[in-house]
Structure 1
Amino acid sequence: MTATQAPCTTQPSTQPSTQPSTQPSTWPPGLPRSLSYPDVPVGSVLRAAVRRWGDRTAFVHHDVELSFTELGRRAHAVAAGLAAHGIGRGDVVAVHLPNCLQYPAVYYGVLLAGATFSPTNPLLPPAALAHQLADAGARALVTWEPVLPAVRVALPATGVQTVVVTGPQQIADPGAPVELADMPDAVSLADLLAADPTDAHRDADVDPAEDLAHLAYTGGTTGVSKGVELPHRAVVTNVLQAACFSSGSVPALDDAGDVTLDQVGSAAEHPTRLGTATLINLTPWFHAMGVIGYLNGQVMAGATVVVHDRFDPAHYLADAVRYRVTSIGGAPPVFVALLQVPGIAEADLSTVRGFASGAAPLPVPLIERMRALAPGAVIAEGYGLTEVTMQATGNPPHTSGLRKPGTVGVPLPDTEVSIRPLGGGDPLPAGERGEVCIRGPQLMRGYARRPEATAEAIDPDGWFHTGDVGVLDADGYLAIVDRTKDMLLYKGYNVFPRELEELLFGTAGVAAAAVVGRPDPEAGELPVAYVVRRADDAGAALTAETVMAAVNRQLAPYQRLRDVVFVDALPVSPAGKVLKRELSARERAAATGRTATTS
């Protein structure tokens, strides 16, 4: 560091932005850099929304609508039903469901009962399910009828005492029977919904600072999942940070003392007003971005959410037009697939005012294609992790905001981002790459029953070390370069796959791409690209040679691709992250086979 370079750490100011909205700005006009977060449990979000939004449609699934009023009734009934089974403050309830109309009532019902919500992927195989339930100490499980065979295998290795079952038939008819064969102690969700929904404030004794709202498990894309402890205060804080930043609002309390929003930003800067948004959600609610951004955040803002339980790009586009959505959100693979739907260029997307992306950085060429699809729409990319509840940064979402392609924006209110050397040390100056470190009130308490892992991740000064490689520019915008675990080592040189992937996305005919290392006894790792062709003439014309020629001429010799493998699709997690570990495993297996053949 030279004498003229200051360490690069962005931190909040207590002063509101004074930049005029007529000029590109890095911060929503009128929004304070620091917010006041009410000391309330997560159930407060629902109570305020029910009073404020009433009969407005909160969720739609398979053309079945659920109003805010009815959502409140069902959630409180679930809370009462759980209480009748002895579930209360401090008990962990695993919610083992896909996105469905029942999910929001179950989620809020668990929290209103004073219990802890532990989201669980319904596609987990029995062994992984048993491990997570046991690790979480789950006392109850709310599960999906079609996956009961896996549940039956997993349960004996867990401490689960109460099993609640729902199924597709209860979307349209909450009282429809479900199959409980071979599980005589299980109950239908219909039984819980029949309980007295009178709001007895069962969460009144919850301590927002100490009691866990979520025990959420990391995605496990690079290793074994760990339980992330998120108190009510962290969840409410991050919901407010994200909602206030995106809508130009500040936290407020209603007449009953429950938390809501006061939209202070102008209609010119934030044309989507509270209580008017409509969007489609297919981000899993068992994922951080889903449950914070696409469940709590939308309930708080009075949005109507159209639920899709699986991704069908043509169906998604048809519903976007049919429901006249105001925004389109998801992970980068969602946008890649949507842009290949025949006729999308002619679809009426005139109501779309914004795109919201998370889970992984958007390649710049993909941003340009999205911008051409809906001119004038704001493309707001964000960044976060389960360990910071959900979101840490975002590109300014207001109309006059300065959005820098290739970055994931600036820190949210009260959030600090610092770039540190990969081996540890003092903050680096602007423009230098290093490990992204985050500090803020949305940070997890720690990893459940893993004090050593917690101490390794959170330093004594409260900085969470993410394992992501990033750069902060002079304006405080963060760019994610790669993950430290994805970085390749070629003949002693660090090769960051994300840089190569940006160039691949900019190559005509490439729909999606991921770069991993191929083990090599002399070089260490050879950069290899897995490529999905676009469904057009340019895609059909691609060869490994033409792709490597297009990319490698823009790279230093040590960065160049050594091979291209064409695949029909990249493996992705439910949250939309490319599972590079699967591609790396494929390369390791192939390398082992080559070694055996030549030995």
Structure 2
Amino acid sequence: MPHAWPKNMPPSLDLPRVGADALLAGAARAYPDRVALLDGEESLTFAELRAAALRVAGGLRARGLEPGDAVALHMPNTYWYVVAYYGALCAGLAVAPINPAQPAGALRAQLADCGARAVFTHPANAAVLSEAAPETNRLLVHVPGTAAGPAPADAVLPAGSVPLGELLAADPLEGYAVDPDLVAHLQLTGGTTGRSKAVRVLHRNLVANVLQTSCWRAASLPGLDEHGGVRVTRVDDPAPGTIVPGEGCNIAIAPFFHGLGLVGHNANTLLGVTAVITGGRFDADQFIRDIERYGVTHMSGSPAMYYGMLRSPELGKRDLSSVRMITSGTAPIDTTALRRLREILPGAGVTEGYGLSEATMALTMSPPGAEIETPIGSVGVPIAGTEVEIRAEDGVAVRRRGETGEIWARGPQITDGYQDDPELTRVQFAGGWLRTGDMGYLDEDGFLFLVGRAKDMLIYKGYNVYPQPLEELLCSHPAIAQASVVGRPHPEFGEIPVGFVVLRPSFEAGGQEFLDEVMAHVAARVAPYQKIRELRVVDALPLTPTGKILKTRLRERLRDSPR
């Protein structure tokens, strides 16, 4: 048994071949009266959540949707999001979680890309949906407002939409077991212009990754109950600080349209953890107060969330002793911040993890209770049943320990590729392995360290931001002839998108007012986290002999002349 391995856990797990509906079924039977969701003063137990989901599933089937059809979820985090999500899964439908902050044009493209036959929306987002799809034969369902996601007083619901209550009045869909080879998620990872990339996360991928992550965090082994629901059983002498199934509380901060939020919520469901849904924008002060108020035991989030916590004056005023486990994901977090978190939360394990949508969510985690402590700066070791290789540029030769190369991964959580894009699937998914596009190395104990990304993607507040769509939008401005976008490191947000632009001959830069106008042009067409945060006008972009833009030179300019 490797030293860098969770205490008393086997090297692989016996994964049941079931659909994700079995996760909720198992939790509803194991913890029927325990609160699953808390949204303001409203709550649902695990038994109530499953009963509501089965009624939504029955309502969707009664309106003609069949297993394999796609359903888009276009709404903020509320407990009705979770009800709609599990209702779609229990009906065998593919869920497309869509960022509700997107403008109409991007929303329209993503609905088309995933082939959504139904859309759930919220009163706060309904106007954008109406603009994106004014005439449609899709089923449109609007959910009620809640404390986490209040309904605006002037909200206008999409024409022809039906209230969620009509689905909840349907007969429950009983006796149907989802085929584990059906698509569970169409996880949209592309930009906001042009064609999106939808990752095909199968039910068996989702169940595998939920079990891989939750069994490690709870020092447990998977199995099935007498009715086929997934259950977990604690190992003997579990590692200290791990989650006890049927106990604990988590605040659902990560948006459900993100893999970290949605896959992570399934893990909480399996383990019988109460999820407090707060909605809205992240408020570090309120978040810390809520940790004390609800006795939060573990949390997952992006570095931006933890940076916000570290700046909050509430840190020294609140009792945070309930916290036992903290995981940072979606982007690298600096080691100074990690050390500070460990200082202020001495009773909690503070670690990083690594994954991506093409791997459902997680590939590596810090092993709880291992004989070797996770080195600071590492993102852990490959989770149970997962192989990670560091390969050379040819994608074949495997690097030795300590040598940097591209990260390739294999395991039951590796997804089915990209929807309707066999060529891109062939490139990224080869022989059962996923080519991640990220760079890193493995140390002698098997811990993975990230050193950069082979792709040009940058990460702002934990969100993936792709330069090419932003470059296209910059070039759509009448003054811009050429554009390139790169990331500039930022101590709070991770990276910020910076645009370099060459003007058309008939235009002149008009000072900061002109730059603000160009950035506003882009901002009106993207989600808030995708905005250009800084713009620089240059005479020419640095090019290779073949005409490709040398982004490394642009990054060097940012380092040499920071703002």
TM tier, smaller: 0.7 to 0.9
Q: Which residue of 2 aligns with 1:481?
A: 451
Matched to 1:94, the amino acid is A
Q: Are 1:31 and 1:265, in contact at CA under 8 Å, matched by a contact in 2?
A: no
**Is there any run of 5+ residues in structure 2 with no aligned partner, and where?**
459-485, 503-522, 543-563
Q: Which residue of 1 aligns with 2:34?
A: 56
Q: Displacement of 1:434 after TM fit?
A: 1.2
Is 2:331 the partner of 1:360? yes
Match of residue 376, structure 2, among 392, 405, 422: 405
Q: Which residue of 2 aligns with 1:260?
A: 231
Q: 1:84 to 1:516 in 2, by over 3 A?
A: closer
Q: Are 2:101 and 2:527, in contact at CA under 8 Å, matched by a contact in 1?
A: no
Q: What CA deviation, in whole Å up to 9, does each residue of 1:507-547 have, x standing for no partner?
A: xxxx55537788699xxxxxxxxxxxxxxxxxxxxxxxxxx
Distance in 1, matches of 2:245 and 2:104, equals: 42
Q: Displacement of 1:219 after TM fit?
A: 5.4
Q: Which residue of 1 aligns with 2:90?
A: 112
Distance in 2, matches of 1:148 and 1:262, equals: 43
Q: Are 2:366 and 2:374, in contact at CA under 8 Å, matched by a contact in 1?
A: yes
Matched to 1:308, the amino acid is T
**Is there any run of 5+ residues in structure 1 with no aligned partner, and where?**
1-16, 20-24, 489-496, 506-510, 522-570
Q: 1:401 to 1:119 in 2, by over 3 A?
A: farther
Matched to 1:484, the amino acid is A
Distance in 2, matches of 1:411 and 1:253, equals: 25
Q: Which residue of 2 aligns with 1:282?
A: 253
Q: 1:166 to 1:517 in 2, by over 3 A?
A: closer
Is 2:197 the partner of 1:226? yes
Identity among equivalent positions (%) equals 38
Q: 1:222 to 1:27 in 2, by over 3 A?
A: farther
Q: Which residue of 2 aligns with 1:248?
A: 219
Q: Are 1:167 and 1:178, in contact at CA under 8 Å, matched by a contact in 2?
A: no
Q: Which residue of 2 aligns with 1:457?
A: 428
Number of aligned residue pairs: 492
Is 2:301 the partner of 1:351? no
Match of residue 160, structure 2, among 175, 185, 202: 185
Distance in 1, matches of 2:131 and 2:95, equals: 22
Q: Are 1:145 and 1:179, in contact at CA under 8 Å, matched by a contact in 2?
A: no
SS at match of 2:409: strand
Is 2:140 the partner of 1:163? yes
Matched to 2:15, the amino acid is Y
Q: Which residue of 2 aligns with 1:530?
A: none
SS at match of 2:124: helix
Is 2:275 the partner of 1:305? yes
Match of residue 317, structure 1, among 275, 285, 288: 288
Distance in 1, matches of 2:15 and 2:123, equals: 39
Matched to 1:164, the amino acid is V
Q: Which residue of 1 aligns with 2:174?
A: 200
Distance in 1, matches of 2:455 and 2:286, equals: 36
Distance in 1, matches of 2:193 and 2:344, equals: 34
Q: 1:487 to 1:278 in 2, by over 3 A?
A: closer
Distance in 2, matches of 1:217 and 1:415, equals: 23
Report the aligned-residue RMSD: 3.2
Counting only pairs closer than 5 Å after superposition, residues 9-88 of structure 1 correspond to structure 2 as 17=1, 25-88=3-66
Q: Which residue of 2 aligns with 1:236?
A: 207
Distance in 2, matches of 1:410 and 1:87, equals: 41
Distance in 2, matches of 1:36 and 1:253, equals: 11
Q: 1:258 to 1:179 in 2, by over 3 A?
A: farther
Q: 1:335 to 1:479 in 2, by over 3 A?
A: same
Matched to 1:44, the amino acid is A
Match of residue 149, structure 1, among 124, 127, 142: 127
Q: Are 1:313 and 1:338, in contact at CA under 8 Å, matched by a contact in 2?
A: yes
TM-score of the two chains, using structure 1 as the length reference: 0.76
Matched to 1:51, the amino acid is R
Q: Are 1:332 and 1:362, in contact at CA under 8 Å, matched by a contact in 2?
A: yes
SS at match of 1:290: helix
Is 2:363 the partner of 1:388? no
Q: Are 1:141 and 1:163, in contact at CA under 8 Å, matched by a contact in 2?
A: yes
